Amino acid sequence: MSQSPAIELVGIDKKFGAVHANKNINLSVAKGSIHGIIGENGAGKSTLMSIIYGFYQADSGEIRVNGQPIAIRDSQTAIAAGIGMVHQHFMLVDNFTVLENVMLGAEGGALLAKGVSAARAELKRLEKDYGLEVDPDALIEELPVGLQQRVEILKALFRGAEILILDEPTGVLTPAEADHLFRILGVLRDQGKTVVLITHKLREIMAITDTVSVMRRGEMVATRKTAETTVGELAELMVGRRVLLRVEKGEAKPAGTMLSVRNLTVKDGRGVTMVDDVSFDVRAGEIVGIAGVAGNGQSELLEAIAGIRKPASGEILLDGQPIDRVDPARLRDLGLAHIPEDRHHMGLVLKFEEYENSVLGYHRDARYGRYGMLDLEAIRKDAMEKIEKYDIRPPNARLKTANFSGGNQQKIVVAREIERDPKMLLIGQPTRGVDIGAIEFIHRRIIEMRDAGKAILLVSVELDEIRALSDRILVMFAGHIVGEKTADAGEQTLGLMMAGIAA
């Protein structure tokens, strides 16, 4: 006697302009099971879940719930179909109580009084049945993140979700909280609920899921029964056999230590520890690459070194000088340049014309003007020189930066930072959204910097890039450096480390 799958996706396809986020996805999740979806960033997992939850509409394809095709137009239809989503970024009202947050949208009547007692009773039942304990009268803003997530789960169950989707749920949890979450997911499954778990952490997949699908570059590349596969196989499927970007480079000749990070701990806006007691060095004349799936603390690490985020504790030394409390302007004077991960909001002001962005951060330099004025001629000349040298197209320093392609925008940033001849270069995601030609160009410039004796710290979620450029590779997972490898380390080894399985 076979049951219809709890949820089935047939031929789901979604494009955002030129980006093909989901390519003909087929997925089948059996009722009463926990299904994992694993993949790197940009694989298309979040888009797929947003389609299931009604945020986006697929361009083509069908969604079936319990065998019935359903048109999911908005979150209301999704909720009505029994689909509940626990978002990565919680959708909670901070100054409401747990009870109020759970009831929002499912109050059970125009007057709250009736709904409140029913809700309390239901919360008690959910607590009993699934072990989801939380004080209904606690204020969200006073709860630790793990409990806040529990409220998100309760919200979904309260609305009668039969299918629960969790998007990277353990990113903000301590290991103990994560284990507790898995116990709860197991109970849910045993009680007949269906759980879809999106994660990049192989440990979780192996620990809790019954089946797992692997997504890569918008496609569903494989589905396995968890019991019948291994971390190795999954890592390989996740990372894939791509054309390796090979860059011509000679041996590195590292000199003295330029950057020294000691016991650095960095917390995010919510107080969650994102970088946990990290220590490492970068020497002049070498490229140290930090590999890892996004969300494991690399961004916060880079921001702390770049002076954008205050560390909670620890030391950062640049050429022997402590810089952990120094602001970005001063850091530039000290010879630190930064190609940020987010070029759209941080590295560039898209509304500005190109030449204005070519001096962003260095606009106080005497070269560009004196007595508080800007010497536009000098700036534009400088910008044109960079445009020529870096082959930025169209070669128009007066064009609004938003009108340049992603690759050329990135070249603007790269040109600006590299041409300062800094002692040390911080680079985050240098080739995200950049075309192949520009990628090669940027990589070559980075190698040139290394050969000129600069210290380079590279953060990238593209493993290929890390392996192509780095002399040493550090892998970050859950805020820790879980291992150091040389440039010739194998993909699979690195993939496993990135997914939390120790080498």
Partner 1 sequence: MDYFDILISVLGSTIRLSIPLIFTALAGLFSERAGIFDIGLEGKMLVSAFASACIAYLTGSPWIGLAGGIATSVAFSLIHGFASITCRGNQIVSGVAINFFVAGITIVLGQAWFGQGGRTPQLDASGRFSPIVLPGADAMRGVPVIGPIYADVISGNNILTYLAFAAVPISWWILYRTRFGLRLRAVGENPGAVDTAGISVSWLRYRAVICAGILCGFSGTYLAIAQSASFIQNMSAGKGYIALAALIFAKWKPVPVMFACLLFGFLDAFSNFMQGKSVPFVGEVPVQIFQALPYILTCILLAGFIGVANPPKAGGVPYTKER
Partner 2 sequence: MSTASVPLPNWIAYGVIPLLNLLVAFLISGFVVWLIGENPLDALVLLLQGALGSGRGIGFTLFHATSFIFTGLSVAIAIHAGLFNIGSEGQAYIGGLGAALVALALDHYVPWYVTMPFAVIGAAVFGAAWAFIPAWLQAKRGSHVVITTIMFNFIAAALMVYLLVHVLIVPGKMAPETRTFLPGGQLPTLEWVMNLFGSKLEDAPLNVSFLIALVMAFLVWVLIWRTRLGYEMRTLGVSPTAAVYAGIPYARTVIVAMLLSGGLAGMMALNPVMGASARLQVEFVGGAGFVGIAVSLMGRNHPLGIVLAAILFGILYQGGAELSFDMPNITRDMIVVIQGLVILFAGALEYMFRPAFVRIYQTFAKV
Minimal distance, residue 217 CB to partner 1, in Å: 20
Given strand 194-199, what is the order of strands in its sheet? 83-86, 163-167, 194-199, 34-39, 211-216, 219-225
Q: Looking at beta carbons only, is 218 or 307 nearer to partner 2?
A: 307
* Among 94, 129, 327, 333, contact with partner 1 (rule: CB under 8 A): 94
Distances (CA, A) of 46 to 256, 341, 388, 409: 43, 20, 39, 26
Q: Does 484 bind partner 2 (CB under 8 A)?
A: no
Q: Which does 352 bind (CB under 5 to 8 A by kind): partner 1, partner 2, none?
A: partner 2
Site for partner 1 in 146-165 (CB under 8 A): 155
* Among 249, 338, 445, 454, contact with partner 2 (rule: CB under 8 A): 338
Paired strand residues for 483: 475
Size of the residue set binding partner 2 (CB under 8 A): 30
Residue 27 class from Cβ within 10 Å (0-12 exposed, 13-18 middle, 19+ buried)?
buried
Q: Looking at this protein, which amino acid is placed at residue 366?
A: A
* Among 19, 376, 452, 503, contact with partner 2 (rule: CB under 8 A): 376
Is the CB of residue 140 less than 8 Å from the CB of residue 96?
Answer: yes
Strand 321-322, strand 219-225: pairing: unpaired
Q: Looking at beta carbons only, is 67 or 109 nearer to partner 1?
A: 109
Q: Does 286 bind partner 1 (CB under 8 A)?
A: no
CB proximity list for 201: less than 8 A, separation 6 or greater: 170, 499, 500
* Among 133, 142, 342, 388, contact with partner 2 (rule: CB under 8 A): 342
- Binding region for partner 1 (CB under 8 A) out of 110-118, 305-313, 411-419, 473-481: 110-118
Distances (CA, A) of 294 to 53, 273, 461, 463: 23, 15, 6, 12
The whole-angstrom separation of Cα 155 and Cα 149 is 10
CB proximity list for 18: less than 8 A, separation 6 or greater: none
Strand 455-460, strand 287-291: pairing: parallel
* Among 352, 399, 432, 440, contact with partner 2 (rule: CB under 8 A): 352
Q: Does 145 bind partner 1 (CB under 8 A)?
A: no
Minimal distance, residue 57 CB to partner 2, in Å: 11
Q: Which does 388 bind (CB under 5 to 8 A by kind): partner 1, partner 2, none?
A: none
Angle at CA of residue 414, ends 413 and 419, nearest 5°: 110
Minimal distance, residue 293 CB to partner 2, in Å: 23
- The length of the chain, given as a count of residues: 503
Site for partner 1 in 339-378 (CB under 8 A): none
Which residues contact partner 2 by CB under 8 A? 306-308, 327-332, 338, 340, 342, 345-349, 351-352, 356, 360-361, 363-364, 369, 372-374, 376, 402
Residues at the interface with partner 1 (CB under 8 A) = 50, 55-56, 74-76, 79, 85, 87, 91-96, 100-101, 103-107, 109-113, 115, 155
